[in-house]
Amino acid sequence: MTPVTQAGEAARTDTNGAVLPPLRIGRHVIESPVVLAPMAGITNRAFRRLCREYGNEGRAIGGASGATSLYVSEMITSRALVERTPESMRLIEHDPDENPRSIQLYSVDPATARAAARMLVSEDRADHIDLNFGCPVPKVTRKGGGSALPWKKDLFKAIVGAVVEEGAKRDIPVTVKMRKGIDDVHLTYLDAGLTAEAEGVAAVALHGRTAAQAYSGTADWSAIRMLKETVTSIPVLGNGDIWSAEDAVRMVRETGCDGVVVGRGCLGRPWLFTDLAAAFAGTSARVTPTLGEVSETLRKHTAYLCDFYGEEDRACRDIRKHIAWYLKGFPAGSTIRNSLALVDSMAALDRLLATLDPDLPWPGEAAEGQRGRAGSSRTVALPDRWLESRELSEEHRRTIAEAELSVSGG
């Protein structure tokens, strides 16, 4: 792909003064201070490979070399990992050239979290572990997990401490990703950030929304700034409403954060990592692909999924959800869009892509902005009487035990 426009300025000379130095996550130095957010059903090995290729291109444009961004796996349930379910073992696979190998764990139980971390560390399956305390999905929060969990301060501390302790055995840094809290009345991010810092995590990332907001409304970047001012000894990363490299630079300028976490902004747009790497290297070069170039990327993504699953039909089912994101803003027509959303083979995909006009230019504003569903705010599903205390009651200990089998490492 050669869709780069505008000759960049000299590397690391952004006139806005917003270019950041490399991001340090424990022993790892990430040249471009950008993290691919873990997204369920999205950030598998195939998509990470695609994003990594574009990130490398961005560093080349900026005149630098070395590791680009940090590309995190989709969320892995600790219990499933300890039980070595086939799907969890597939999800922790990495390409030979992925470095650092980054895995996100989800758990509501310190013993299970410790056992999962011990497995990753002792079997040399990861170079970095991220802990999920940000998921707002009802089936997760209803069990006291994700963004509901930091409300229970002792439980949060125990899980973080257990995983950090296991990671330290082989110098594997641990990070925490979280939200502001359950809702605007029950905020947890400042005390959770301080607890994580005290427990020895290498960085904390904050999505500037509450669980009640899900993905609706506007991310509160002032909370990211407040966390940065509160947690001072480790990097603080900002997440939420980064749809372009310019948004990332603006977040850094407004919050003082040490790096950014990008999720929905790269859906159907993996070349955003080219833009981000170039921007943080101090250039103004940006990617503006033609429809033909977008089609090539979509096909490459599907081929990578074939390699990941080892099954062409499963890869084609997976790529269907990406079609609307890739074609956003292009005048492709409903018939071709609907047909692509039903594609069942690489041959069928090739036939359909061949009907698109490859010379159609990047549609500009129509393809920019929000990607993925925003939804609306809601009441957060929680265990009964979860909000009555910041400490874990015996009743809630039983709830946690039922939600996730407690496993001790051998």
Compute the average pLDDT of residues 23-27.
Answer: 96
Is 342 a residue whose pLDDT tops 80? yes
Is pLDDT larger for residue 392 or for residue 5? 392
Residue 128: how many CB atoms within 10 A of its CB? 25
Give the confidence band of 5 by pLDDT, cuts at 50, 70, 90: very low
pLDDT of residue 110: 95
pLDDT of residue 61: 55
Side-chain half-sphere exposure of 295, counting CA atoms within 13 A: 22
Q: Which pair of tokens denotes residue 60?
A: 């080349």
Is 217 a residue whose pLDDT tops 70? yes
Residue 17: how many CB atoms within 10 A of its CB? 9
Compute the average pLDDT of residues 311-319.
Answer: 97
Q: Cβ(217)–Cβ(377) under 8 Å?
A: yes
Distances in whole angstroms, Cα of residue 382 to Cα of each of 137, 140, 145, 148, 156: 11, 9, 9, 7, 16
Scanning the structure block, which residue is given the tokens 């290297």? Answer: 281
pLDDT of residue 410: 26
Is 321 a residue whose pLDDT tops 80? yes
Q: Kindly tell me the burial class for residue 84, based on how many C-beta atoms sit within 10 Å of its own C-beta (0-12, 13-18, 19 or more).
A: exposed
- Among 57-66, 359-368, 370-379, which is the least confidently predicted range? 57-66
pLDDT of residue 228: 98
Q: Which CATH class is domain 19-284?
A: alpha beta
Q: Cβ(293)–Cβ(25) under 8 Å?
A: no
Which residues, listed in sequence order, are joined to residue 23 by a DSSP beta bridge? 30
Give the confidence band of 409 by pLDDT, cuts at 50, 70, 90: very low
Q: Cβ(178)–Cβ(208) under 8 Å?
A: no
- pLDDT digits over 111-151, tens only? 999 999 999 999 999 999 999 999 999 999 999 999 999 99
Is 10 a residue whose pLDDT tops 60? no
Task: Enumerate the H helices of 38-91 as residue ranges.
Answer: 45-62, 78-82, 86-91
Is 299 a residue whose pLDDT tops 60? yes
pLDDT of residue 407: 32
| Residues whose CB falls within 8 Å of the CB of residue 86, separated by 6 or more in sequence, listed in order | none
Q: Which pair of tokens denotes residue 108?
A: 């509501």
Give the confidence band of 9 by pLDDT, cuts at 50, 70, 90: very low
3-state secondary structure of 164: helix
249 residue type, one letter: V
Taking only Cα atoms into account, the Rg of the chain, rounded to an integer number of angstroms, comes to 21
235 residue type, one letter: P
Alpha-carbon distance 61 to 306, whole Å?
Answer: 30
Rounded to the nearest 10 degrees, the angle between the axes of helix 110-122 and helix 153-168 is 20
3-state secondary structure 238-299: EECCCCCHHHHHHHHHHHCCCEEEECHHHCCCCCHHHHHHHHHCCCCCEECCCHHHHHHHHH
Instruction: Report the percentage of the chain scoring pLDDT > 70.
Output: 91
Alpha-carbon distance 401 to 71, whole Å?
Answer: 31
Scanning the structure block, which residue is given the tokens 């400490």? Answer: 391
Q: What is the mean pLDDT of the chain?
A: 91
Alpha-carbon distance 28 to 385, whole Å?
Answer: 41
Give the confidence band of 59 by pLDDT, cuts at 50, 70, 90: low
pLDDT of residue 63: 52
Alpha-carbon distance 57 to 33, whole Å?
Answer: 15
- pLDDT digits over 76-117, tens only? 999 999 999 999 999 999 999 999 999 999 999 999 999 999
Q: What are phi and psi of 14, to 5 degrees?
A: -55, 125
Active site residue 135: yes
Q: Which pair of tokens denotes residue 290?
A: 């033609």
Give the confidence band of 13 by pLDDT, cuts at 50, 70, 90: very low
Is 17 a residue whose pLDDT tops 50? no
Is 327 a residue whose pLDDT tops 80? yes
Q: Which of 135, 266, 306, 316 is catalytic?
A: 135
**In the chain, domain spans:** 19-284, 291-363
Give the confidence band of 14 by pLDDT, cuts at 50, 70, 90: very low
pLDDT of residue 404: 66
Closest alpha carbon to 98 in 137, 76, 126: 126
Q: What is the DSSP letter of 234?
A: S
Q: What is the largest CA-CA distance in the chain?
A: 64
Compute the average pLDDT of residues 306-332.
Answer: 96
Compute the average pLDDT of residues 249-264.
Answer: 97
